[in-house]
Every structure is written in structure tokens, then in C-alpha cells.
């Protein structure tokens, strides 16, 4: 192990999400390979005992050290994953074992940087490590986190958030984005880019990028709104004004707005803009189309409108987005 290796301790406990504990080490392991061993991380899995831990996927994992042993070491990064349970209505609830919370609090005191993956933010919050801080978690448990810990400023949209020396990540695959951001913070953007290429990831999603995309939004409860959503995507290059959509749905404009608010939680115009941005994102990532062509095919009208929409929804510009996420096809 390199003399520059940074100790990363990943917290293990029964029922932990498997990807939370396997994704980040894949990123960290590539640092040493990309630097020829000149820099890297020492990753250890810590649990209450040395007995195997059964993850949520049913896969058993062996700890490297106990929590007690970890507490005697100088930790660079403490990575806290999460666990959930669901009820008969498929509602997801984040779990916070008080014993694990206590161990996290103790280990954090010996750590330069504390991070959480997915619903691991609930453990950090229960340990008091997010008090007065802005944090994110998986969107499905964000309301629970805000309700249980009003002292935390919960933002369910970004894929990860850094607030001082505390980093919180969204779910599930966002653990890779968070780990890449940690690499960039430790060893620079150039190395993080090389690691991302090895992972065949679009490089490199900024912290403010949304967890959500239009195709992943919940399907509405009415066939009429589903038909409207598909109509929007099929005709994304057309004007798609509120009047156009109301005429297509055979309702008044006010009624259409009420329907969108009730079914999708947004206005028709805002939904159309989000759909246009989603299609533009895909084109920026996977094609060499000019901005002018994307403006035309996505129905933005002008380049200025495209840029304003990207700034509003992604806190970046189309050009910067392409630079970060364009697939390396060479």
C-alpha cells in the first residue's frame, strides 16, 4: 500500500444495502491502479464483531476489523451506508439501529471526513453529525429524514452534497458519483476523470445534478395524463403550449393546469421544460449535435432558452454538461 494511502472505514451492520458497501471501494481501488501505486486508499470494512454480516441482498460479507479496532486508528474517511425496510404498502422506511448510531458517533470523532451513502444519512443525522447542515439522501426517505431531524436542511434533489467535512450521497448508484467526488477532492479532477473512464461512467456528474429525470417520474394514476406525457415526448420539438395541450386533452387550460398539479405536482409548462431538458441531456451525452440542432429538435426555440432551462434545472450550461458527460467514443 502506498505511503499516501488514505484509510477509508466502511461501516457494516445486518441488513446493510450491498451496493452501498461495494460501489465506493471499486472506485477507490482504481486510484492505486491509475497511479501505479503512487497514491490510493486503504479500505476496511468494520463491524461490531468479526462474524459475517448479511446484507439486504442476502450476500454475506466478512468484516476486516471490529468497530473497537477501528476506533484506535486515525481514519481519513468514514463511509456510512444505510438499510431500509418496507411495509405492506411498499412504503420505504430507513432504519437506524441505536447501537450502530453510537458506533458512528464514536468513529466520526476520529475521522477527517464523514460521508454517507443513500439512506446512511439517517444514521449520521441520528448521531448528531448533520445538525445545522444541508444534506441529501435517497428521495424515497427524504421526507422521513426531514420529519425525524428538523435541525437538518434536507434537499432530496442533488446526487450528493458537501457541507464542510460532511458529505451525503443520494441512492443508489450515486455512491459512485460521491466516491469520484472524494477522489477529485483528494487527488484532483484529472485522476478522477481517468478513474471514471475505467468505470465507463459519464464524467463526472456535479453535486447539484438532480437524482430525478423525466422518464423515471412516477406514472400518473389516470390514462389521460399518461397519454399527455407520451404525447409531449413524441412531439418534443413542437411548441407544446398550454393551449396546445389543453386542446389535445379536450379540456380547458385551467382544468389542464389543475390536472397536472394533482397528478404530477407541477404545471404543464414546467413539465414540458423538464422533458425538453431531459431529451437535450441525452443528446448532449450521446451525440455530436450542435446546440442549434438540439434547440430545434427539443423545441426550445432559441439557444438562450436552452441555456436558461439548463441553469434553472441543472445549475450548469449545455456546453459544460457536454464536457462533463459526453461519452468517450474514441
* Nearest one of 192, 218, 18 to 118, comparing CA atoms: 18
Q: Which residue in this structure is represented by grid cell 458529505?
A: 167
Name the CA dihedral angle for 319, 313, 232, 235, rounded to a multiple of 10 degrees. Answer: -20
State residue 216's pLDDT score. Answer: 44
Query: Among residues of the chain, what percentage have pLDDT more than 90?
Result: 67
Check residues 188 and 329 and name the one with the higher pLDDT: 188
d(C-alpha 8, C-alpha 78), whole Å: 6
252 Cβ contact list (under 8 Å, min separation 6) = 246
Q: Residue 136, CB half-sphere, CA atoms under 13 Å: how many? A: 27
Q: 4 falls in which pLDDT band (50, 70, 90)?
A: low
Task: Report the pLDDT averaged over residues 80-93.
Answer: 87
Neighbour count for residue 139 (Cβ, 10 Å): 16
CA distances from residue 150 to 130, 145, 157 in whole angstroms, order as listed = 10, 8, 17
Domains of the chain and any CATH numbers? 6-198 (3.40.50.880), 214-325 (1.10.10.60)
The answer, yes or no, to whether residue 110 has pLDDT greater than 90, is yes
Across all residues in the chain, what is the average pLDDT?
A: 89
Of 36-40, 89-93, 265-269, least confident by mean pLDDT is 89-93
| Cis amide bond preceding 50, omega within 30 | no
Q: Which residue has the higher pLDDT, 229 or 212?
A: 229
In the prediction, which pLDDT does 61 show? 97
Grouping H, G, I as helix, E, B as strand and the rest as coil, residue 11 is strand
Give the pLDDT of residue 86.
86
Q: What is the pLDDT of residue 315?
A: 82
Look at residue 221 and tell me whether its pLDDT is greater than 60.
Answer: no
Grid cell locating 258: 389543475
How sure is the predictor about 88, in pLDDT bands with cuts at 50, 70 and 90? Answer: confident
pLDDT of residue 204: 46
200-217 per-position pLDDT tens digit: 654 445 555 555 555 445
Amino acid at each position: 500500500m502506498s505511503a499516501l494511502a488514505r484509510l477509508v472505514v466502511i461501516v457494516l451492520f445486518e441488513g446493510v444495502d450491498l451496493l452501498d458497501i461495494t460501489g465506493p471501494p471499486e472506485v477507490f481501488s482504481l486510484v492505486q491502479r491509475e497511479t501505479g501505486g503512487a497514491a490510493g486508499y486503504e479500505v476496511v470494512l468494520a463491524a461490531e464483531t468479526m462474524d459475517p454480516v448479511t446484507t439486504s441482498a442476502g450476500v454475506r460479507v466478512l468484516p476486516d476489523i471490529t468497530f473497537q479496532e477501528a476506533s484506535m486508528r486515525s481514519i481519513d474517511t468514514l463511509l456510512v451506508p444505510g438499510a431500509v425496510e418496507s411495509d405492506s404498502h411498499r412504503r420505504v422506511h430507513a432504519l437506524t439501529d441505536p447501537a450502530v448510531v453510537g458506533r458512528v458517533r464514536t468513529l466520526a470523532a476520529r475521522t477527517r471526513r464523514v460521508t454517507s451513502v443513500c439512506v446512511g444519512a439517517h444514521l449520521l443525522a441520528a448521531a448528531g453529525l448533520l445538525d445545522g447542515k444541508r444534506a441529501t439522501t435517497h428521495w424515497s426517505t427524504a421526507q422521513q429524514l426531514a420529519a425525524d431531524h428538523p435541525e437538518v436542511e434536507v434537499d432530496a434533489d442533488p446526487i450528493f452534497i458537501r457541507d464542510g467535512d460532511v458529505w451525503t450521497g443520494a441512492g443508489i448508484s450515486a455512491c459512485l458519483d460521491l466516491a469520484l467526488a472524494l477522489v477529485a477532492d483528494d487527488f484532483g479532477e484529472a485522476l478522477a476523470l481517468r478513474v471514471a473512464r475505467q468505470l465507463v461512467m459519464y464524467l463526472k456528474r456535479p453535486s447539484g445534478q438532480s437524482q430525478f429525470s423525466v422518464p423515471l417520474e412516477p406514472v400518473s394514476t389516470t390514462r389521460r395524463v399518461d397519454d399527455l406525457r407520451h404525447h409531449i415526448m413524441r412531439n418534443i420539438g413542437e411548441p407544446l403550449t398550454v393551449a396546445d395541450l389543453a386542446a389535445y386533452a379536450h379540456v380547458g387550460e385551467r382544468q389542464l393546469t389543475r390536472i397536472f398539479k394533482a397528478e404530477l405536482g407541477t404545471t404543464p409548462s414546467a413539465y414540458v421544460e423538464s422533458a425538453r431538458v431531459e431529451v437535450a441531456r441525452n443528446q448532449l451525452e450521446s451525440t455530436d449535435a450542435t446546440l442549434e440542432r438540439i434547440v430545434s429538435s427539443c423545441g426550445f426555440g432559441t439557444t438562450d432558452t436552452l441555456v436558461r432551462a439548463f441553469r434553472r434545472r441543472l445549475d450548469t450550461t449545455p456546453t459544460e454538461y457536454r464536457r462533463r458527460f459526453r461519452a468517450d467514443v474514441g
